[in-house]
Every structure is written in structure tokens, then in C-alpha cells.
Amino acid sequence: MSDSSLLALTLAEACTGLAQKSFSARELAAAYNDAVKVAEPLNAYITPTPERALAMADAADQRLARGEALPLDGIPIAVKDLYCTKDVLTTAGSHILDGFRPSYESTVTDKLWQAGAVMLGKTNLDEFAMGSSSTTSWHGPVENPWRRAGDNRPLVPGGSSGGSAAAVAARAALAAIGTDTGGSIRQPASFCGIVGLKPTYGRCSRWGVVAYASSLDHPGPMTRTVRDAAILLRAMSGHDPRDSTSAPVPVPDFEAALTGDIRGLRVGIPREYRVDGMPGEIEALWVQGVEWLRAAGAEPVEISLPMTKYALPTYYIIAPAEASSNLARYDGVRFGLRVEGDSIDEMYELTRAAGFGAEVRRRVLIGTYVLSAGYYDAYYLKAQRVRTLIARDFVTAFEEVDCILTPTAPSAAFAIGEKSEDPIAMYLNDVFTVPANLAGVPVVSVPAGLSDDGLPLGLQIIGRAFDEETVLRAAEVLEAAARFRHLPSFIAGGGR
Amino acid sequence: MIANGAVEGRTGQWETVIGLEVHAQVISKAKLFSGAAIDFGAEANTQVSPVDAAFPGMLPVINRVCVEQAVRTGLGLDAEIRLASVFDRKNYFYPDLPAGYQISQYQQPVVGRGRVVLDMPDRTTREIGITRLHLEQDAGKSLHDQHPSSTYVDLNRAGVALMEIVSEPDLRSAEEAGIYLRKLRSILRYLGTCDGNMEEGSLRCDVNVSVRRPGEPYGTRCEIKNVNSVRYVMQSIEYETRRQIEIIEEGGTIAQQTRLFDAARGITRPMRSKEEAHDYRYFPDPDLLPLVLDPDWVERLRAELPELPDAKKARFVSAYGLSADDAGVLVAERENAFFFERVAAGRDAKAAANWVMGDLFGVLNRLGVGIEQSPVSAERLGALIDLIADSTISGRLAKEVFAEMIATGADPAAIVEAKGLRQVTDAGAIDSAIDEVLAAHIDKVAEYRAGRDKLYGFFVGQVMRATQGKANPALVNRLLKEKLSG
């Protein structure tokens, strides 16, 4: 097979091709290694690992030859550079982790390699996963492979898992893993026209993932199709005794849930998601999504999630609060960057001032403030209470419906630099995504259509805790109805 | 100077109010949130996991054994076990605090109110309230003496489980504080939850001291950090009491302050603060779920608790007929109580107590060792008492045998045989010894018979001397009295 036809395969197709020996894992890895190089202008990768990819592919080929194939044998995957990978530079997109090569492998990546997957490299991201544009990385901004029709300005891929999303969209990775703290998988998936799944909190272990906001961080897959997400999620999931918040629940065969049958499924349409200033094209796509699901036999139900409007302010208290504490360990003492000073305090100050970018500093300051004596009750404690109410909103809704359909983001991709001057405008990107993080419920974003200027737009399906199966089943039906076949202006390999 | 809690100042009487925060290192094989070992004295930075060093992405997982130890300690302090508790982060920057926060329990500790009963020297008891006990991580150690301009950090201790045991401000003198600390340490050792070793730092104490006029509300307190011996705790309280009284009597006010005890000079002085502003920004650690205990599990631990000092003391009084004072001395250290009971088993308990508390403790004191290193085992000390009981040796000879046991560790019966110390119980032999003595001192016999009773002891001594001390004293007494009155 030619490189371009190899790169056009979905993960599920590649698995079949490898099993049938239509091509080798080495061929597939080599094609992707080349694609990673071709895609360099996107700055999607911080650290490509081509040699490791070939070595892992060779091992996969040997197992395939012996008939001992593992579930993901030979599947090339890009890893958001927030996952610690043994002996491979791990930066979190930050200057402060300069030269950090962990002596350990994160649980999720370890599971992928144990399942036979091949590591293509580490992808770029917003510094410490803080952002919605993948422009705050010490390693420079990521470019979206998509461009607006008739406008050649580079666009952001969304964030924070923008490198992973751009790589998958540009065919510089067959699939990728990201993390989603306030929408960091789904919003870039929506901006880049791919599928992004944020599982239930506790489904995938956080062990070995550089922490941004511990109670909100969710590892998850980013893929070309819903089926690919289901396959990848299964390999990433499972109870991990090293993560106290990991759930001791069995891992279902998510792919088996993709029956295509959603007859009688009750789909909630929350009225509070019709926010002021939402572009008409997104509203229209949402209505279209409802019709697609209705046509497939589902039963749309108007519902209310009354606490929705408090989700964003709640998120921007809790996430920075946890971050301010999680990032205290970057002090120049044991690893990463150190800027010497005349005293220990000066060393801390110089190191952290030089090592953290503006957005990280902003959130550390906000977080420190909301936890301070005298402000704790008014901000952090109040936010925790509201969070409980937001989670209750979903529990109440799921007494009535089986899943919920909403837009993923209030806009399509924007130009690099367009919103950087206005943090609040940037934070508003997360308005539809943060409630699911606060509630910990599973949600998948599916590319559903194009904006008027030709950019992908996503719809998301939210489900009950640990009911990824329903979410995936509905998402696959949505995906089939939307028939999203558009390609970005930049791809590393040819079309189908 | 300090008696009954009252302190005489220049302007009248003062009362010292003391509360102790004791940091007790939990006995366990691994740290509170990581699997790293915790051996004392290991080479620097060899007992450290990536979790303890707070490497990126590392997560804490609670060590069940440490929770069990904390709950057992709570039960031993007759305290409320809180079935749901929460771990919080206490945030501050310090090089030996790798994560930039200490995981501790702030608002919801695992153990609530309890109490410790003190036996006072005047034989009364005093009940001291326990406010709470919570679990927390220890920090690492900054080493300032390894390099002229740099500080080294040893993380071996970072993450080790500590129980912070907070008392109510119920203590009223340095002496009481000392008794409390010893009693608490004794309970911890009985429970096997902390070895109480203050030199190795496994028991450390923060001392809160304030003074007030008797009957008035509490004064402003100062906290003396990290005092590491009972003696220093007492000295620091005495010094701090004086210091505060003098300030107030000279018209000043006490500033709430953290201070250090300077053992070399016997004074307290203000401590450099960890951070300019003490805002620890406590919040629940999102990496850990609330700690929820199964009530049945707690009840099982309660049922399995060992006998604690107070109960043991009461039993020693009732079962062995010991005085409360003697029982108190014997139960203070668990090992001593165990040793005593092995000696007393099937024997005269009072004799056993006398030997253990008198002769044996004297020797151990002289050697500067604990009873675990006693050169004489409980079994051999018991055997020695048996030799007295069956009249093989006299009490006087037993002292000689005991000295030999200390020197050689040998079996008492073997020593008696080897040295020919077996008591003479042959009435004939003693008879003739008495006859010889009386014959040699006819004048004294006459004096005795004339009423100088005091000479009786002289005759006994002479007879014992003639028999090299081996004559059975009771027999000597009986025969001598017969002959002298005859």
C-alpha cells in the first residue's frame, strides 16, 4: 500500500489490515514517521520518537507473525506531552520542565504499549494543559491544519490537547491521547474535525499524568472515528491501585456497544446551552443533530440544567486552586529548570518567574488568591458547593433522559493571537465543556458539520457516569448521519 | 519554685497553662502515602520513591497500616474514632517539602476527643484531655553543615507517617507536662504504634505555653517548636513561664510567637518563620478520597488492643498484691512489666517486684541499658528467687549469686554449686558453730543474759561468719535463741 492510503486508514481498519498482513506494523510506523516530519510546520509534536516507533513496530510484527497479536498491535499513537513517558523528554509544554526525563511510565501509556501500540512521539499543548488554543506552550503555538475558506491566516487547533488533535486531523498520527480538564480533548477535537472522548472521572488512571487540576483531569482518546475512540478507550481504562481516585469498576467492550440502534433512546436537549451570542450556524447544527437522532429513532426531550451558567466561574475557581498547589513542586530543587539566586526564596522566585508562562502564572495567582485566608469560604468553598449542585443537575436530568446532546464549543477555530489579549473571551470557549468535567460524567465530541467559512464544528453527547457505552452508541449514530468526510487544507498524506 | 501549678511572681501568683502537640512517628514498614521504606539511619536519599520526591504525575495512596495504627492509638487514648475523615493539603514552600504542600488532616481528623490519666506524685490522678489525633506526612531534612554555602536535602524522612496528638490546655506545670509526655509515650509503646524514641526523632513535641492570674481567662500563648526530650520540654516550660511573667510584670504584653528551645543555653528564642505570611491555604487533597472506616473493623481493633498501663497497674495491685506505687513503677515501661510478670509467674510476686525494682533496676541504671538488654533473663532471676524460697541459699547469699549472674550471665544454681554457696541447713553443724561462738565469747554471753539484748545481733553475725554466711538464718535464729536462753 502507498503511504497516503496507509495514512487514510482508521484505527479499526489498520487493525484489520495488520491482522490480514496487508501491510506490516513497520510499514505503517514508517509512513507515520514520515508524516510526522511532513507535518512539522504545524508544530504538533514537541518530541517525535521515530526510532522508538520502529522498534515497537518490529516487536508488534513479530507478535503478529507468531499469531500472538495484541489488541492494538502496530497502531501508531501520539501522546500529549502531559503523560510521563519513561526516558522520553516530558515537558508539559513548559520551560520549567527543561530536560525532564521521567524514570517511570504513566499508567495509561503503559497500558497502550502493553496492548501493542506504537509510540510516535509527544505532542504539543498549552503549558500545563492550561488553555483553549495550544498557543501558550514554551515550544511555540500549534497550528490547526484547517484554514478558513479564502483566508490563509493560521488558526488555533483549540486546546489544550491541540497538538494531539492537529496530528490526528493532519494524518500525522493514527490516533492520539489527550487530557480533558475543562474541555481540552473535546474543544480541539471540534476545532480539528476529529472525535474526542472524555471518559468518566476514574475510568482512566491519572497516575503519571502531570497534574493540572486533579479533581478535573481526565485522560481520554482522540481519534478519527467513534469506533476508534471505543477501541482506544478500552485499552486505556481500568482500575489502578496507584491512583486513589481510579474507580474499581470492570471495563466493558465499548466497541460492542456500537450497535447503531438508538431507537427509544431519550436524548436531553438542555435549554440553558442556548447561550447569548452563540453563532447561528452552531445553533443550526445543534438542531440538525437533534433531527438526525430523531430520524434514527431516538426521542429528543427538552430538559433543564439550571446550574449551567455557574459552571464556568466555578471551574475557574476550582481548577486554578488545585493548580496553584499542584504546581508548587516546580521549585527548581529536584528536576527541570533552576535559576540560581542568592537565597532559597530568590531561587524559587527566579526559577518560577522564568519557568512559567503568563497563563500559568495567572492561574497560580488566581488559585492562591481563592484559597487564601479570608477568601476561601467566599470562593473555593462556595465553588465546591456549586459544583455539587452542577453534578446534581446531571443526576436529575439522567432520571429523565439517557444522554444529552449539545454543541461542543461556542465557535469554530479562531486565528492564532485572536483571543490571546482577552483571557475572559478565551475562557468562554469552555462554556459547554466544563460542566461535564465538574460532574465527572462521560462525553464525546463528534465532528458534525462545517461552519460558513468551512471550519469543522462538533456536537457532544453527554452520558451517565460509567455509561460510556450509551454515549458511544449515540455518537456513532450521529457520526453516521453527519457523514463528515471533509479534509483539512493540510494533510500529511493524500486523500482516499 | 513551681508547685501545684502556681508560680510566684514579683506581683503575686501566676498560673502556667500548657498544651502539647506531640508528633509521633507511626511504626510501619512503609511511608504514609508511598511504598518507600523508613529505616532510621539509612544513607541519605535512599528511602525515597518518586511519590515522596513529588515528581510530576505521582499520586499518593494511603497506607492502610498507618491508618490502623492511628485508630489503635485513638482507641488507646479512649478517644472518639471518626469514621469519615479528610486529608488536606497544607501549602508552603520549603526545600525539604518536595510537593510544596504537606498532606495532613485539618478540619476532619481521624481521631477526636480522648483523654490520658496521669498518676501524680501525691498519688492523686489528673485527667488530661486529648483534643484530636490526626495523620500527616513528615518533611525531609535540610542539612546545613555539608557545604559552606549550600544546603543539602535528605528526603528519607519525607512522607513518613506521623500522628499529631494534640492535648487540651489542661497541663499546669513543667512537671505535669513531663508526666503527661512519659505517660503518652508509655501508651504508644504498649500499643506498638510509636517507638517513642525521642533521640531518633520519632517523638517530637511542640509546647504551647501561656500564663495567667489564677481564675482569669487564658493569656496569649507562645509555641515552642520541636523540643526533643522530656527534660527539654520541662526546661523550656520553666524558662518560658518565667520569661512571660517577667514581661507582663514589667508592663509588657506577650506577642503570639513561634519559638525555639536552645538546649545549650536553656532558653527559648524567636524562630525564623517558614514563610513571611503564615497562610497555609488548606484545602482537601483532590488526589485522595475521604478516609471512610468500617465500624466493624474499628471494633475488631478495639477488641484486639493489648492491656494498657492503667489496666495493667490495677491488675498488678489486685492480682499480685503490689502497692500502687510499685505497680506504677513496673508498668511505666511495657518491657519492664512483661519482664516482671515472667519473674513473678508462680512465685512470690512481692519478692519478684523487689528483685526487679531494686537489684535489677539498680544494675540496669548503672549499665545504662534497658531491660531488653538485661544481663539476667527473667527466667534466671526467677530461678534465683526459687533458690531462696526453697532455702537452698539465704537472701544474703542470693545477693552474691545475683552479682555473679550479672557478671557472667550464668545460671544461679550452677553458681551456687560452683562456689559452694549452698546454705547449711544441717542443725548439727550449726549447733557446733554456735557452741564455738558462745564458748569464745563467754563474757558477752553473760552480758546478754544480764539483759543486753542488743548483743543478739553480734552472735548471729559471728555464727554466720563462722559458717561463711551459708547457715540458714532461720535455723541459726532458732538454735541460737534456745542456747542463749538455756
Task: Give the tens place of pLDDT for each residue, B25-42.
Answer: 999 999 999 998 888 889
Mutate to test the interface with A, among B34, B45, B52, B58 (most CBs of A within 10 A): B58
Q: Is the pLDDT of residue A496 over 50?
A: no
Q: Report the pLDDT averaged over residues A349-360.
A: 97
Q: How far is CA B33 from the centre of its chain?
A: 29
Q: Report the pLDDT averaged over residues B49-73.
A: 97
Q: Report the pLDDT averaged over residues A94-100.
A: 97
With CA atoms as reference, report the closest residue to A491 among A38, A30, A27: A38
This model of the complex carries an ipTM of 0.96
Among A92, A100, A244, beta carbon nearest to B61: A244
Top-confidence residue, A177 or B440: A177
A80 catalytic residue (yes or no): yes
Q: Which pairing describes strands B12-25 and B161-167: parallel, antiparallel, or unpaired?
A: antiparallel
Q: Is the pLDDT of residue A186 over 50?
A: yes
A184 catalytic residue (yes or no): yes
CB pair distance less than 8 Å for B286 and A335: no
Looking at A184, A190, A324, A411, which residue is catalytic?
A184
Among B91, B95, B283, beta carbon nearest to A333: B95
A160 catalytic residue (yes or no): yes
Q: Is the pLDDT of residue B294 over 90?
A: yes
Q: Report the pLDDT averaged over residues A356-372.
A: 97
Rounded to 5, what percent of chain A is helix, strand, coil? Answer: 45, 15, 45
Residue of B nearest to A326 (CA): B99
CB pair distance less than 8 Å for A329 and B56: yes
Instruction: Domain ranges for chain B, please list them.
Output: 2-301, 316-419, 427-485
Identify all chain A residues contacting B93, using CB atoms and an 8 Å cutoff. 328, 331, 345, 348
pLDDT of A208-239, one tens digit each? 999 999 999 999 999 999 999 999 999 999 99
- What integer pLDDT is reported at residue A495 of this predicted model? 45
Q: How many CB pairs under 8 A join A and B?
A: 100
Count Cβ atoms below 10 Å from residue A29 Cβ, excluding itself.
28
Helix (H/G/I), strand (E/B), else coil: B291: strand
Q: Is the pLDDT of residue A348 over 80?
A: yes
Extract the runs of DSSP E, i.e. beta strands, from A36-100. 45-48, 76-80
Q: Report the pLDDT averaged over residues B292-312.
A: 97
pLDDT of B418-435, one tens digit each? 887 777 777 888 888 898
Minimal CA separation from A335 to chain B, in Å: 8
Per-residue exposure over B97-112, b if at least 16 CB sit within 10 Å of its own CB, e if not: bbbbbbbbbbebbbbb
CB pair distance less than 8 Å for B279 and A373: yes
Q: Report the pLDDT averaged over residues A2-10.
A: 92
Dist. CA B433–CA B40, nearest whole Å: 63
Which CATH fold topology does A3-259 show? Amidase signature (AS) enzymes (3.90.1300)
Q: Report the pLDDT averaged over residues A59-76.
A: 97
Q: Report the pLDDT averaged over residues B167-185.
A: 97
Identify all chain A residues contacting B100, using CB atoms and an 8 Å cutoff. 325, 327-329, 331
- The pTM of this model reads 0.91
- What integer pLDDT is reported at residue B3 of this predicted model? 46
Q: Report the pLDDT averaged over residues B176-198.
A: 96
- What integer pLDDT is reported at residue B481 of this predicted model? 87
- What integer pLDDT is reported at residue B470 of this predicted model? 80
Among A97, A215, A368, beta carbon nearest to B286: A215
- What integer pLDDT is reported at residue B472 of this predicted model? 81
Looking at A24, A134, A160, A420, which residue is catalytic?
A160
Count Cβ atoms below 10 Å from residue B445 Cβ, excluding itself.
17
Q: Report the pLDDT averaged over residues A344-360.
A: 97
Residue in this structure with the C-alpha cell 500529511, named with its chain if needed: A492
Q: Report the pLDDT averaged over residues A32-49.
A: 98
- What integer pLDDT is reported at residue A206 of this predicted model? 98
Minimal CA separation from A9 to chain B, in Å: 33
Among B59, B89, B91, beta carbon nearest to A206: B59
Given a contact cutoff of 8 angstroms between Cβ atoms, the answer to whether A94 and A356 are in contact is yes
- What integer pLDDT is reported at residue B418 of this predicted model? 84
Among B50, B60, B289, beta carbon nearest to A103: B50
Whether domain B427-485 has CATH 1.10.10.410: yes
DSSP per position, A355-411: HS-HHHHHHHHHHHHHHSTTTTIIIIIHHHHHHHHHHHHHHHHHHH-SEEEEES-SS
Identify all chain B residues contacting A100, using CB atoms and an 8 Å cutoff. 56
Identify all chain B residues contacting A213, using CB atoms and an 8 Å cutoff. 286
Among chain A, residues having any CB pair with chain B shorter than 8 Å are: 83-84, 90, 92, 97, 100, 102-104, 106, 206-211, 213-215, 241-245, 321-322, 324-325, 327-329, 331, 333-335, 344-345, 348, 368, 371-373, 376, 380
Count Cβ atoms below 10 Å from residue A75 Cβ, excluding itself.
31
pLDDT of B139-172, one tens digit each? 999 998 899 888 899 999 999 999 999 999 999 9
Q: Is the pLDDT of residue B64 over 60?
A: yes
Q: Report the pLDDT averaged over residues A473-493.
A: 95
Among B62, B100, B151, beta carbon nearest to A328: B100
- What integer pLDDT is reported at residue A336 of this predicted model? 96
Identify all chain A residues contacting B153, using CB atoms and an 8 Å cutoff. 333
Q: Is the pLDDT of residue A260 over 70?
A: yes
Instruction: Provide Rg for chain A, Cα atoms.
Output: 21
Q: Is the pLDDT of residue B275 over 60?
A: no
Q: Report the pLDDT averaged over residues B2-25.
A: 87
CB pair distance less than 8 Å for A242 and B281: no
Q: Report the pLDDT averaged over residues B440-444.
A: 89
Q: Report the pLDDT averaged over residues A51-80.
A: 97
